Amino acid sequence: MNMNGKLVTVIEFQHVKPGKGPAFVRTKLREIESGKVLDHTFSAGHKIETVRIERRPYQYLYQEEAGFNFMHTETFEQVLIPTKLIEKPEFLQEGMVCEITFHAEQELPLLVDLPMHIEAEITYTEPGVKGDTATNSLKPATIDTGAEVRVPLFIDTGERIKIDTRTGTYVERVK
């Protein structure tokens, strides 16, 4: 929806009907451009201006100075996405299919959603110690995209792991 000239999306809402007084709706909104989360209360019957958005599948091709190039998986149309629209660009892998949200009327890209999990190879980490699985200790490791993640002590260079792209955390070892 459009609020004060900025596009926002509703994350959470709760309809409240107090014993005294009129009903209202308490919301958590995220500004699409900045990612800032706002708390806002709407009175009952408040009209909002909705904006039509579309989510489309695009495949990541390559990075250049101005941003990242993606290709629509069905029409093969290419689009250049600025870095600021991608929450965690360090996890982009060549050929990865992402969901890009567009402002439907203006054909303007708003944000890029990476897959929830990716598989990556460890390109460097300190050597692991056999039997070091009892503690919850983590060590830094670099993956093939160049990003640094924290992994358990038993993970070695050359192993493949699964990473949660939302938090950037290790999930499991991939065989």
pLDDT tens digits for range 114-140: 999 999 999 999 886 666 566 678 899
Domains 53-113 and 117-174 share a fold: yes
Question: Is 117-174 a domain of CATH 2.40.50.140?
Answer: yes
Give the CATH number of domain 2-43. 2.30.30.30
For every residue of 31-98, which 3-state class applies, written as one string? ECCCCCEEEEEEECCCCCECCCEEEEEEEEEEEECCEEEEEECCCCCEEEECHHHECCHHHCCCCCEE
Mean pLDDT calculated for residue range 5-30 = 91
CATH class (in words) of the domain with range 53-113: mainly beta
Nearest CA to 152 out of 27, 163, 52 is that of 163
Query: Which pLDDT does position 129 carry in this prediction?
Result: 66
Domain boundaries of the chain, sorted by first residue: 2-43, 53-113, 117-174
Percent of the chain with pLDDT over 90: 60
Query: Which pLDDT does position 132 carry in this prediction?
Result: 59
- For the chain, the average pLDDT equals 90
